[in-house]
Homo-oligomer: A and B are copies of this chain.
Amino acid sequence: MMRNCLVAQSGGPTVAINSSLAGVIQGAIDSKKFDKVYGSLNGVQGLLNGCLMDLTEKVEQVPMFIELLKKSPSMYLGSCRYQLPDYTEDDAPYAYIFNKFETYEIDAFFYIGGNDSMDTVDKLNTYAKAVGKDVKIVGIPKTIDNDLCITDHTPGYGSAAKYVASTLLEIGHDTSIYPINSVTIVEIMGRDAGWLTGASVLARNKYNHAPHLIYLPEVAFDEAQFIEDVREAIKKYNNVVIAVSEGIKNAEGKYISATSAVEDTFGHSQLSGTGKCLEYIIKQNLQVKVRSVEINILQRCAAHMSSITDIGEAFRLGRHAVETALEGKSGVMVTAIRKANEPYSVKMGDTDVKNVAGLVKHVPREWINERGNDVTQDFVDYAYPLILGEPVVKYERGIPDYLDVSHLYPNN
């Protein structure tokens, strides 16, 4: 008798996480080993609340479902912030979840997420082993931050990197129009690791030198040196563009954004963004026009500008997760292993999820220049293949034609 599998998404959105979901669905169907693929809405919460969706039915009913899903932004199944307790202290949610697994005849559970989600994979697998349940629990990586260990890179990163690089090129054009001195600071996501900010280097081409300075969280930020860097860059380039990670910290390990809280008119302290902080520093120290731009959530939801390399690999990882579960593995995360750069190729593998859960992969110090205000050619060689290729985005009435997510809006 055929049994079923279950998939859920967790953490923050990327434009590739739905492609991994599509890969799981297609992989499960093609394997002919599962009757149904269920999706749990809002991560593991869907299991706890009984909100499951029959995805095999969607494939049959919605024309081009898999193709649309691959190219749609954000998270088709929604997300959650739920963290499982330690099962030795409180096993009630575990008993509930595995009871649901039995109700729905689930043989394999695929969880697409970042390092917190891999912790959930680890906990569920540990519990299953402890109580003798044979449900395979497999993690699939995703995060625009690219900070998961073992895997060469994470789905979602290549597309966000392409968006950041293209946007920085466009900002380079935008800032070039006045023959005056100016500074434009662009704040890019990344609390702990500078992978995405570093990708701004890919905006440079034969005429565009922006961003002229790049600051990552991996190097302690020094205000005096920063002012000197900007002063030098203005002399050389007139209109200076700076890419900075939201997560840069000073030598004491304190976030720069936390060091310059501003007070609103009501006297409440408000944390201003990192870009704003650097804007204030320049205003106070240099006589130059300055502005800051925070790319904000656009960098993680701009599916109209995704990398086909990224979308393709996210799909392959989803399929590979199904194969991995069918090989009998559990408590693992599937990984991308880079085989070569020219021509670029990857193969898929897996690793014990304990090698990933709760850990952060930083940009190697040697991929950042000595002064800590730029990345090196090694970084470029690493990131460049990941942004290549543009999927054809279909437009409907002038805006991108994405997959209907009205099931996430219960009140509408």
Contact = CB atoms under 8 A, between A and B. Distances in A.
12 contacts: A74-B177, A75-B177, A173-B301, A174-B300, A202-B397, A205-B396, A205-B399, A262-B264, A264-B272, A266-B280, A268-B280, A293-B298
Interface in A227-244: 236-239
Interface string A298-335: 10111111010000000000000000000000000000
A305 B305 contact: yes
A79 B239 CA distance: 13
Interface stretch (A58-66, A161-169, A371-379): A161-169
A284 B262 contact: no
Contacts of A297: 171, 174, 184, 293
Contacts of A237: 409, 411-412
Given A205-B396, A206-B406, A207-B406, 6 more contacts: A13-B173, A75-B177, A169-B402, A170-B298, A171-B297, A264-B272
Contact of A387 (B238, B307, B399): B399
Instruction: Give the interface residue-count category, chain A.
Output: 35 or more
A40 B392 CA distance: 38
A399 B390 CA distance: 9
A224 to B, nearest CB: 17
Interface string A80-102: 11000000000000000000000
A176 B405 contact: yes
A409 to B, nearest CB: 6
Contacts of A173: 13, 72-74, 301, 303, 402, 405
A304 B305 contact: yes
A374 to B, nearest CB: 16
Contacts of A208: 405
A176 B400 contact: no
B260 A165 contact: no
Nearest to A394: B390
A103 interface: no
Nearest to A209: B412
Nearest to A204: B399
A122 B122 CA distance: 72
Contacts of A399: 162, 165-166, 169, 202-203, 205, 387
Contact of A405 (B72, B207, B384, B412): B207
Which residue, of A74, A266, A300, has the highest number of chain B Cβ atoms within 10 A? A74
B406 A398 contact: no
A207 B404 contact: yes
